[in-house]
Chains A and B, each alone.
Chain A
């Protein structure tokens, strides 16, 4: 009746679990910094996937909710240092918004380490690496995000084979003989 799937069981960490973390990085500073880390062949854990946005001011809190809702264990938002924004003021707005939003998420029970915001400049390849390393370790220590997500749509009852599946396509629907 109720579509709630309580997720108590997820408290046990599955074997081979690796934290999945999304990092929203501004194009001008942090993304550049991350590229620099690559040029310098720095090494950091691969759990973070970078999503490029033009500016941390573009960071809509709704993306964070989506990421947490749909399966990320942690979210990192990075931008230029305040004062260095390519677009002058974007990160000042982002700073305010993210401060409020982070508190709200924590209020709703999200562990603080799962949502982090950092200013990383285009030169701070080392800071990028260190941030990624620490976020991954912190989230790893917390384990999988224990959030009730959604009904497990995709777990199906016994799946018929390809051939049978097509048999399941309904018969053509033919209208009755047309009357005048």
Chain B
């Protein structure tokens, strides 16, 4: 037998104008377990709230129903009020007498009847609620950034500058990501390396940042404030404490391997740094190609190393640490166009290259030292065709979305080519030219001025005639067939999420869209948060974007992280799922349905009829559960229930409406 107090608000004439509040009060007095009913002109006013408090004390009330405006408006107010009384803040139910009653009905009698029903339902529900208590979740003041590209580095720097420890996990051997591969950045044409490598060394030298290169996330558990993350640092075979980065080993290594950093256009050694300015500025041994590690013969690097840093016995290292927040900055890769576009040769023509290859070709530290030479015969192409939207905006072959940066970097490529080969001809096949951004359209116009010839249409076929690549397409503006004979073709291919994103996101239960881009919590209002509390997004892992946008988002994610890490503890939402272990049979249907990965099945020991039994039961992680209640419906036995919206309370609410 609970003792319910009902407080009904006139809200001036907002409610009382349509609803006969006194009649509702009269009815409420006749409801079971209601011991006190009060009406008030403005319950939410200070005297109104004081009245509620006094009544609670005087009448020994243990549950409260407020009939007033929408709970979306004042539920937090009432909860706060109750926190100062002996009544638990969650022993509260708000009947929405304003937004969903007095404001939408005109007939006084009808509105009053509805208000009566709403109060009945609230009383029935509140009678079955249980006191709930938030738990304090401590916050580990340390952030993990996954990915060491420009977005990851910017996030890490911003967080570290605010005074928090940050770990960056980078899968490659060096920071830098895609940006460091680029030659120049539009529209200002700064040298990409010149603005990126200082960031890299800043990160590498920052006292609050730990860089874990050549490392990947192995395992994750926990929740906001307390992500326990295991990181696998792949064997580098070099003791970084001893290595000075002198590079003697690289010069002597006999094994030659295709250089991925140079987009396959040159070779590197098996012991290598990704590129000269790499951070950390120390090499690793590529175990797949090292002669010593594959055949047991060689060991040259060990002999030439002046500090004895080479260790062929090195193994992967697993370290586990707890982080308060996690930022995904996993970036993108270019779509593998070859299987999708057999009409472009599907990879059989060496001189059909991607934009990223072109970046390396024009880069002074690239394989051609900045001379535009086509890969097949290392001659300067006099005619270049640039094809945009390869894989983008092409739902039949590639992706339906626009990759956003290609319009600008294709203009940049045209500009760079014409700059380096003044007598060259450059044709750009495009679908649209989209240049929203500061200085972007001006840049595009300059490229046109440089002499780039823009042709609106897709290239339908590329074939080889002699050493020429014949590109056939349609100029849709003139509706004429166009044939261009080119020495080299540059495909501006679509961005797609980085490899392994599905597995990684699944470990953190971060949502992905149909194209595997990570999903933000709200497209407009929470663009850098994910649905898993404590996990944030920066850069292109969330969708294609250019460098300025990536850096912006990185800063935004960092500010969210700083906000979180500034707190010592979080108050958990107590309205979450709870398992009745007596009923739970551990079949795991709830695990399947939980969008947050908050439920796991654990083996537990019980005493049942004086016998010890070990059986599986579900367990809810209170830090991950957000209280949606989807699991409760899959649980046939009703072992899973949602506190605050229990099956019992909803059933009695329905009964009250029907039968009271």
Direct contact of A and B (CB under 8 A): yes
A103 CB–B CB distance under 8 Å = no
Complex alpha-carbon distance, A156 and B460, angstroms? 86
Name the B residues within 8 Å of A34 (CB-CB): 99-100
Complex alpha-carbon distance, A39 and B117, angstroms? 21
Given contacts A35-B100, A39-B99, A67-B658, contact A46 B107 (CB under 8 A): yes
Name the A residues within 8 Å of B629 (CB-CB): 53-55, 57-58, 90
Given contacts A34-B99, A41-B104, A57-B628, contact A22 B654 (CB under 8 A): yes
Q: Are A50 and B628 in contact (CB under 8 A)?
A: no
Name the A residues within 8 Å of B627 (CB-CB): 54
B659 CB–A CB distance under 8 Å = yes
Q: Are A38 and B628 in contact (CB under 8 A)?
A: no
Q: Are B98 and A38 in contact (CB under 8 A)?
A: yes
- For B655, give the chain A residue with the smallest CB separation: A70
Q: How far is the CB of B656 from chain A (nearest CB, A)?
A: 10
B71 CB–A CB distance under 8 Å = yes
Task: List A49-81 residues whose CB lies under 8 Å from chain B.
Answer: 49-55, 57-63, 66-67, 70-72
Task: List A98-112 residues whose CB lies under 8 Å from chain B.
Answer: none
Partner of B595, one of A38, A63, A90: A90
Q: Are B626 and A58 in contact (CB under 8 A)?
A: no
Name the B residues within 8 Å of A89 (CB-CB): 593, 595, 630
The 0/1 profile, CB within 8 Å of A marked 1, for residues 224-260 of chain B is: 0000000000000000000000000000000000000
Task: List B80-139 residues whose CB lies under 8 Å from chain A.
Answer: 96, 98-101, 103-107, 110-111, 113-114, 117-118, 121
- For A38, give the chain B residue with the smallest CB separation: B99
A49, A63, A66: residue with the most chain B Cβ atoms closer than 10 Å: A49
Q: Interface size (A, Cβ < 8 Å)?
A: 42
B632 CB–A CB distance under 8 Å = yes
B482 CB–A CB distance under 8 Å = no
Partner of B654, one of A38, A51, A52, A90: A51
A-B contact count (CB 8 A): 128
Q: Are A71 and B100 in contact (CB under 8 A)?
A: no
Name the A residues within 8 Å of B309 (CB-CB): none
Q: Are A70 and B630 in contact (CB under 8 A)?
A: no
Q: Are A46 and B654 in contact (CB under 8 A)?
A: no
Given contacts A49-B117, A88-B531, contact A70 B654 (CB under 8 A): yes
Given contacts A54-B628, A54-B642, contact A60 B71 (CB under 8 A): no
A61, A66, A129: residue with the most chain B Cβ atoms closer than 10 Å: A66
Name the B residues within 8 Å of A43 (CB-CB): 104-106
Complex alpha-carbon distance, A20 and B645, angstroms? 23
Complex alpha-carbon distance, A27 and B534, angstroms? 23
Given contacts A31-B72, A63-B654, A87-B626, contact A51 B121 (CB under 8 A): yes
Partner of A93, one of B117, B511, B630, B654: B630
B647 CB–A CB distance under 8 Å = yes
Q: How far is the CB of B533 from chain A (nearest CB, A)?
A: 12
Complex alpha-carbon distance, A41 and B118, angstroms? 19
Name the B residues within 8 Å of A41 (CB-CB): 103-104
The 0/1 profile, CB within 8 Å of A marked 1, for residues 594-630 of chain B is: 0100000000000000000000000000000011111
- For B642, give the chain A residue with the smallest CB separation: A58
Given contacts A55-B629, A87-B628, contact A38 B103 (CB under 8 A): yes
Complex alpha-carbon distance, A27 and B71, angstroms? 10
A42 CB–B CB distance under 8 Å = yes
Partner of B647, one of A42, A51, A60: A60
Q: How far is the CB of A123 from chain B (nearest CB, A)?
A: 12
B445 CB–A CB distance under 8 Å = no
Complex alpha-carbon distance, A20 and B100, angstroms? 16
Task: List A113-137 residues whose CB lies under 8 Å from chain B.
Answer: 129
DSSP majority for the B interface?
helix
Q: Are B657 and A20 in contact (CB under 8 A)?
A: yes
Complex alpha-carbon distance, A149 and B630, angstroms? 29
Given contacts A34-B99, A55-B628, A90-B628, contact A72 B657 (CB under 8 A): yes
Complex alpha-carbon distance, A105 and B595, angstroms? 29
B185 CB–A CB distance under 8 Å = no
Name the A residues within 8 Å of B651 (CB-CB): 62-63, 66
Name the A residues within 8 Å of B55 (CB-CB): none
The 0/1 profile, CB within 8 Å of A marked 1, for residues 508-525 of chain B is: 000100000001000000
Name the A residues within 8 Å of B99 (CB-CB): 34-35, 37-39
Complex alpha-carbon distance, A175 and B542, angstroms? 80
Q: Are B633 and A59 in contact (CB under 8 A)?
A: yes
Q: How far is the CB of A59 from chain B (nearest CB, A)?
A: 7
Partner of B658, one of A44, A72, A88: A72
Q: Are A42 and B595 in contact (CB under 8 A)?
A: no
Name the B residues within 8 Å of A59 (CB-CB): 633
Q: How far is the CB of A62 from chain B (nearest CB, A)?
A: 8
Complex alpha-carbon distance, A42 and B103, angstroms? 7
Q: Are A50 and B655 in contact (CB under 8 A)?
A: no
- For B592, give the chain A residue with the smallest CB separation: A93
Q: How far is the CB of A94 from chain B (nearest CB, A)?
A: 8
Complex alpha-carbon distance, A22 and B4, angstroms? 24
Q: Are B593 and A93 in contact (CB under 8 A)?
A: yes
Name the B residues within 8 Å of A71 (CB-CB): 658-659
The 0/1 profile, CB within 8 Å of B marked 1, for residues 139-152 of chain A is: 00000000000000
Name the A residues within 8 Å of B111 (CB-CB): 46
Given contacts A31-B72, A72-B658, contact A38 B100 (CB under 8 A): yes
Q: Are A50 and B658 in contact (CB under 8 A)?
A: no
Q: Are A88 and B70 in contact (CB under 8 A)?
A: no
B359 CB–A CB distance under 8 Å = no
- For A87, give the chain B residue with the smallest CB separation: B628
Given contacts A44-B104, A46-B114, contact A20 B531 (CB under 8 A): no
Partner of A50, one of B96, B575, B595, B642: B96
Q: Are B511 and A88 in contact (CB under 8 A)?
A: yes
Q: Are B658 and A20 in contact (CB under 8 A)?
A: yes
Q: How far is the CB of B650 from chain A (nearest CB, A)?
A: 6
Other A-B contacts than A20-B658, A35-B99, 9 sampled, CB-CB below 8 A, are A43-B106, A46-B113, A53-B645, A53-B650, A59-B633, A63-B651, A87-B628, A88-B511, A93-B630
Could you show 14 A-B contacts with beta carbons less than 8 Å apart?
A35-B72, A35-B73, A38-B98, A46-B113, A49-B114, A52-B71, A54-B575, A55-B629, A55-B630, A57-B630, A62-B647, A66-B655, A71-B658, A72-B654
Binding site for A on B (CB under 8 A): 70-73, 96, 98-101, 103-107, 110-111, 113-114, 117-118, 121, 511, 519, 531, 575, 593, 595, 626-630, 632-633, 642, 645, 647, 650-651, 653-655, 657-659
Closest 9 CB pairs between A and B? A38-B99, A58-B629, A87-B628, A57-B630, A71-B658, A70-B658, A38-B103, A35-B99, A88-B595
